[in-house]
Amino acid sequence: MKDAARLQSVIEILTLHGAEKKPLDQLSHTYFKTRRYIGSKDRQSISTLVYAIIRHRASCDWWALERGLSPLLMAPYDAARIRLLSYLWLFEKMPREKFGILFSGEKYAPERLSDKERSIFEALPKLDKLPPWVEGEYPESLFPFLRRRFGDSLQTEARSFLEQAPLDLRVNLLKTTRDAALMNLNSTGLDAEITPYSPWGLRIKSRENISQTKAFQEGLVEVQDEGSQMVAQLLEIQPGQSVLDLCAGAGGKTLALAALLNNKGRVVATDTAAWRLKRTKERLKRAGVCNVELREISGITDKWLKRQKERFDHVLVDAPCSGSGTWRRNPDQKWNITPQDIAELTALQKSLINGAAALVKPGGSLVYATCSFFCEENEDIAQTFLKDNPDFTLVNCGLQEAPFLTLSPLQNNTDGFFAAKFIKGTL
């Protein structure tokens, strides 16, 4: 593809994202699937530019707004063009004359620039300091939440959100050892190394299609961020015990829990979406797991759950959340979350953890986790739970004996995770 055609594809994907509000990775996958003529190198180039624009959307919108253009008030197609123009001008430093060549209106090329769009190139007096949400590349409405979490280190932490996340793998101990898996991957030319925190983790710094490797296809490794692996580790599972993964999703932590049980004992993975459990079933088969029961439930008040009072040695509540901790991987999510969404999520999270408490055996553990930075979804939920459930005791589970596990890209090179561990009864 020519450069102009690539830019037109970028505009089309950004337009879809603005119109449909679906996850960007899904939209991109569908877009390329229906356009088989776009080669792998072109797909990579287009995707890289799309994600870069989304990561820097705050700067692109601010630059346009200072010139009298507001992408937030535009139709998705017009907003996509403005953001692309702003990004190329601000971050790629594209010469002005090249815009006229690329935006020619010819076949497969973007339409010619309008007079309004040309205002993107106007120079204005520089501000001494940009608003923090522009510097940090996140929505203004989320500034109070992030400021509360990170305080004076917010800007430094926010810059780490913009970096590309590494590819983390969890070694499947049912089939191999970490040393053997490491040798396997390195022998195929992948530059893998052990992770610093998780005893089952491997990290590949470069962007690789791990699903095409023999190690993945044979179930020796699974894609899982090191932070997520550390959450599973908190349960301190012993073979033969019973474990409930209450919000199993696609089963990443379910697989880790089953491996810890060494196919002995029992894991019950529940979720409200049958399609997510179907994906889990496929992953379990590849991993050689045979002690997991998948169960679709209607919610925390499900009849089956009510019959499971004090049945489990360990319960994991990997609660639905804002996903702010995954912004390195999913930068589009930051533009879809609002303060109202956070308020609704916290109500759900309180309901889930309180409902899960009844399912834990005396002396058993309850782990509450999110992939969120926000205190409202994390520490606030844990502290409220302790007040409402005096029969539970908080256990220090963070690094350096901290009360909570709190991880961030800057501090730990993981996704942003939070976890709190409680024991039913006194220690």
Cα distances from 419 to residues 345, 352, 402, in angstroms, run 16, 14, 11
Cα distances from 296 to residues 192, 245, 300, 306, in angstroms, run 37, 12, 11, 14
Q: Of the candidates 416, 350, 408, which has an alpha carbon nearest to the alpha carbon of residue 383?
A: 350
333/51 Cα distance (integer angstroms) = 12
For residue 281, the surrounding DSSP H or E stretch is: helix 274-287
21/336 Cα distance (integer angstroms) = 8
334/142 Cα distance (integer angstroms) = 9
Under a CB-based contact definition with an 8 Å cutoff, are residues 422 and 358 in contact?
A: no
Q: Is residue 192 classed as helix, strand or coil in its secondary structure? A: strand
Phi-psi category of 374—alpha, beta or left, where left has phi over 0 and alpha has psi -120 to 50?
A: beta
Q: Which of 60, 371, 375, 397 is catalytic?
A: 371
371 is catalytic: yes
56/345 Cα distance (integer angstroms) = 26
Catalytic residue list: 371
